[in-house]
Amino acid sequence: MIKVAVLGYGNIGSGVVQVLLKNKETIAKKAGDEIVPACVLDLRDFPGDVMEDKVVKDINLITQNPEISIVVETMGGTKPAYAFVKACLEAGKHVATSNKELVAAHGPELLEIAKAHHVSFLFEASVGGGIPIIRPLVSSITSDAVTEITGILNGTTNYMLTKMSEDGLDYDAVLEDAQERGYAERNPAADVEGHDARRKIAILSSLAFGKYVDYEDVYTEGITKITSADFAYAKILGSRIKLFGTSKKKEYGSISAMVCPVMITNEHPLFAVNDVMNAILVRGESMGDLMFYGAGAGKLPTASAVVADVVNAARNPKITEIEPYEPGKMTVSDHLKSTHSYFVRVKGSDANAVAESFKAKQIVDAGIADEFGLITAEWAENEFDALCENYPVVSVIRLAK
Amino acid sequence: MIKVAVLGYGNIGSGVVQVLLKNKETIAKKAGDEIVPACVLDLRDFPGDVMEDKVVKDINLITQNPEISIVVETMGGTKPAYAFVKACLEAGKHVATSNKELVAAHGPELLEIAKAHHVSFLFEASVGGGIPIIRPLVSSITSDAVTEITGILNGTTNYMLTKMSEDGLDYDAVLEDAQERGYAERNPAADVEGHDARRKIAILSSLAFGKYVDYEDVYTEGITKITSADFAYAKILGSRIKLFGTSKKKEYGSISAMVCPVMITNEHPLFAVNDVMNAILVRGESMGDLMFYGAGAGKLPTASAVVADVVNAARNPKITEIEPYEPGKMTVSDHLKSTHSYFVRVKGSDANAVAESFKAKQIVDAGIADEFGLITAEWAENEFDALCENYPVVSVIRLAK
């Protein structure tokens, strides 16, 4: 019998216990042994809950309990999650977490500690909720050089952008709707400003390119400036607006990485990823395009991913499944030197003259008074920004392909 | 240094050598050791090839060579692949294969032999080409009960159906086109009759449900009866016609399983999978829908998947990665008892009377003289077949959702 402790008995933590109990037999078969939730660490009590008698308040009761071999961390944030996870790894326990803040900030150190103590630090649920993407990156996409990884990594903003696109609603209205449905927090900054997607693309890039990508090095724009007028143009262009986290391999061991809204046509593999769904596109030299699609959040999908990590740790207790990254930090190139085509809205009526300056490939009229849209040629961001200074630019969205 | 032997130096086999050489450094980093193609077994010679001096003709030179720890089998078919693979496993060598005939027919025995000899029998490339699906089923989707697995598993037929849909061409014309492009064999039966998809869904179902599914128990229809007239109706219905391999968990430890053309709307997650691409949808109780998408065939994508297996065997040489199935054979329920809605074309003009008999939800007029189409209510196949006896039915396609 393998005993698991769960740190943090909130939405995901209680989902983990639920999945462990509900799928007990399936899990025992896959793990080769019964896996039981032995205790949960939480400051609260849970009268009437199945774990009511198994709540502990002191992390030492877990780190010093030799019967517990696997710890699940679903507290979120880095304080006290970081100290607790570190202590558990140092005590020789495998840790499976859903906590992207923790992995994005302390992943390199925690992977090193796990390796030194012959255990695994696992974080399948930290990106893409229930989508298996971490393990495929570590164990399946091993024979090929990854050239690009791009994802719709935040379900809340994808829901909002889908609603704006389909119902013609404005930003404030869809935010309110998302909050009512419980998709968006009362303080929605982590989602709508792109911070959540930023941490996730940093984690994926670290694994795909083998070296720690600091999320603070990833240039990030959220969706707060997107308006229903932008969608009016997108509709005419047969395009959709999505929040992408993306990173690409560059020469000389560096990458480009960015989180920003993009406009895509139905040629793009992520075009059909709508509502709260997430998807991750991995491009490789030999293998071509792979896409992984599924529920990017939600109690049970996310808990399923955590438990999958627990099952792997139980099956292969002597293996450190995810090796530490190469030492050092990945160089992330300056986004101002990256090149894109842009959709740009400009005030006025003299579209042709402006189009010429931007080397526009297309002029778009969405029937909005005193403005027009352009699809520009490819420009480096700094050149493009300089160009925009000369015109009454209303909004800009990068094109992705 | 880890030495690999490649059995069969054709398209995939030479791709494996190419990927091993080209991505040598990436692979060494992931595997923790250098991996080199030490020899190939083939009856032919390959003057001028990089492996020219390393061709052997006798399998004993591989089974009895203690320096070779991993064998790749890319010969196809079961004779002599089965005997060779068995001998390699019994000699304590890991085997990675792309050979779906071998896995579908002899998987249970080869997994048992591998386990008994503390090595792995791996077959990521046998289904979905470069798409990681076998390893996710074995290692990631372990915490949840899979309820359904459905795939577009054959690139050739998907290309043909896409062409018929987009260009309005008839079956014979697209088959010729596919043959000219090298997508279809001169004898296309394995693809167009559904045999290839049948083996692949049997392999996926065996893994997803934990017990051997004999491909011969999977009821199979190919695409040879699909005509451009069927697509005329599909277009009006906003639907596409796809060749699905699908299996679903039933009560009492049995499954339903089928390969057949289906009509789907754009609500279906596999609607946008076109051309030679493959995709696999896995539905679970807790995790919801997952989809894996990528190149289902092709030299380098398939070779990448084989090499990923090689890397895993190299990293974890003491682990049997895929456990044997439960003993015995999975019960596959009689397809005549399965229930579907159908698209059915009927000769004549009295649509209303026929619609009533079929409890049709919709009558469709595609402007074809002396016939009409119906979307029926759900019927068990045997009831539906009996009903069809009474009318001049032109064609039938099941609906999938």
Query: How far is residue A209's CA from residue A197's CA, in Å, rounded to a whole number?
Result: 18
Minimum Cα–Cα distance from A131: chain B residue:
B290
Residue A228 and residue A197 in one domain: yes
In a shared domain, residues B280 and B387? no
How close A289 comes to chain B (CA, Å)? 6
Q: Is residue B245 included in any domain, yes or no?
A: yes
B134 domain-assigned: no
Is residue B312 domain-shared with residue B266, that is, in the same domain? Answer: no
The answer on pLDDT for A252 being more than 80 is no
At residue B391, the pLDDT reads 97
A374-389: string of b/e by CB count within 10 Å (b at 16+)? bbbeebebeebeebbe
pLDDT at B253: 82
Where residue B66 falls (left for φ over 0; alpha for ψ -120 to 50; beta otherwise) is alpha
Distance from CA of B29 to the nearest CA of A (A): 9
- Interval A45-73: pLDDT, tens: 999 999 999 999 999 999 999 999 999 99
Residues A122 and A144 in one domain: no
Residue A81's CATH number: 3.40.50.720
Q: Flag whether residue B130 sits within 8 Å of chain A, measured between CB atoms.
A: yes
Whether B161 contacts B243, CB under 8 Å = yes
Q: How does pLDDT run across A12-33, given as a tens digit for each residue? A: 999 999 999 999 999 999 999 9
Task: Determine the distance in angstroms separating the CA of B117 from the nearest CA of chain A, rounded to an integer.
Answer: 18
**Count of all residues that appear for chain B in the document:** 401
Range of the domain at B379: 336-399
Query: Residue A141 carries which DSSP code?
Result: S
Position B122 in a domain: yes
Interchain contact, B304 vs A144, CB within 8 Å: yes
Query: Which residue does chain B place closest to A290, by CA atoms?
Result: B294
Confidence band for A317, pLDDT divided at 50, 70 and 90: very high
Let me know if residue A218 belongs to a domain. Answer: yes
CATH of the domain at B162: 3.30.360.10
Q: Is residue A331 part of a domain?
A: no
- Spatial separation of the C-alpha atoms in residues B352 and B342, rounded to whole Å: 16
Query: Please, are residues B213 and B332 in contact by the beta-carbon 8 Å criterion?
Result: yes
Residues A313 and A379 in one domain: no
Residue A88, pLDDT > 90, answer yes
> Is A238 labelled as part of a ligand binding site?
no
**Active site annotation includes A200:** yes
Chain B, 3 to 32: residues with Cβ < 8 Å from chain A are 19-20, 22-23, 26-27, 29-32
Residue B135 located in a structural domain: no
- Separation in Å, CA A121 to CA A63, A95, B374: 15, 5, 55
| Contacts A285 to B, Cβ<8 Å | 22-23
Q: Quote the pLDDT of residue A116.
A: 98
Band the pLDDT of A41: cuts 50, 70, 90: very high
Domain-embedded: residue B136: no
> Are A267 and A144 members of one domain?
yes
Phi first, then psi, for residue B244 (nearest 5°) are -100, 140
Residue partners of A110: CB distance under 8 A and separation at least 6? A85, A86, A89, A95, A102, A103, A121
CA distance B371 to B392: 10
**CB spacing of A291 vs B290 below 8 angstroms:** no
The pLDDT value recorded for residue A337 is: 93
The pLDDT, as a whole number, for residue B300 is 94
Question: CB-based contact (8 Å) between A127 and chain B?
Answer: no
Cβ pair B261, B221 in contact under 8 A: yes
Q: Which residue of A has its CA nearest to B301?
A: A287
pLDDT tens across the length of chain B (401 residues): 999 999 999 999 999 999 999 999 999 999 999 999 999 999 999 999 999 999 999 999 999 999 999 999 999 999 999 999 999 999 999 999 999 999 999 999 999 999 999 999 999 999 999 999 999 999 999 998 899 999 999 999 999 999 999 999 999 999 999 999 988 888 999 999 999 999 999 999 999 999 999 999 999 999 999 999 999 999 999 999 999 999 999 987 899 999 999 999 988 989 999 999 999 999 999 999 999 999 988 899 999 999 999 999 999 999 999 999 999 999 999 999 999 999 999 999 999 999 999 999 999 999 999 999 999 999 999 999 999 999 999 999 999 98
Tens-digit pLDDT profile for residues A163-207: 999 999 999 999 999 999 988 888 999 999 999 999 999 999 999
B207 and B192 part of one domain: yes
Q: Tell whether B206 and B344 lie within a shared domain.
A: no
**For position A185, what pLDDT does the model report?**
87
The mean pLDDT of A93-119, rounded to a whole number, is 98
Q: Are residues B88 and B185 in the same domain?
A: no
| pLDDT at A36 (0 to 100) | 98
Is residue A297 very low, low, confident or very high in pLDDT (cuts 50, 70, 90)? confident
Looking at B282, B310, B329, the residue that finishes a domain is: B329
- Rounded to the nearest angstrom, the gap between the alpha carbon of residue B106 and the centroid of all alpha carbons in its chain is 16
Read off the DSSP letter of residue A223: S
Summary mean pLDDT of chain A: 96
Do A143 and B19 lie within an 8 Å CB cutoff? yes
Check which CATH number belongs to the domain holding A389 and give it.
3.30.70.1150
Q: How many domains does chain A have?
A: 3
Domain shared by B103 and B74, yes or no: yes
**Residues A290, A142: one domain?**
yes
Question: Are the Cβ atoms of A286 and B269 closer than 8 angstroms?
Answer: no
Has residue B225 been placed in a domain?
Answer: yes
Domain co-membership, B62 together with B103: yes
